[in-house]
Amino acid sequence: MIGVCDCQSSAHDSDGSWANTPNITWSFKYIMDGKAVQDETLNPDASHTGKIRQYNQEKTRISGSTFARRVRGHL
């Protein structure tokens, strides 16, 4: 999962039909001394989004937080 992937983004429109599937670049990297993973998506319009995911050993699950949403610019 760590690395860069060229892929298509799929989502539903409000009516439940499939929306446009743009090509995106999705990158994953380790952060926080390997204790978390950060992902970033670069969209065709140069906007990007990202999340930080960290494994919670006490809850035995992965939790994530969005740190940027639809921000214009480059990664």
Task: Give the angle subtended at the CA of 11 by the CAs of 6 and 17, to the nearest 5°.
Answer: 135
pLDDT in tens, 14-52: 898 988 888 999 999 999 888 889 989 888 888 888 888
For residue 8, give both structure tokens.
């298509």
C-alpha 24/C-alpha 42 separation (Å) is 6
Query: For the whole model, what pTM was predicted?
Result: 0.63
Distances (CA, A) of 47 to 12, 50, 73: 19, 11, 6
pLDDT at 30: 92
pLDDT category of residue 75 using cuts at 50, 70 and 90 = very low
Residue 48, exposed/middle/buried by CB under 10 A (0-12, 13-18, 19+)?
A: buried
Hey, where are the domains in the chain?
Answer: 24-62
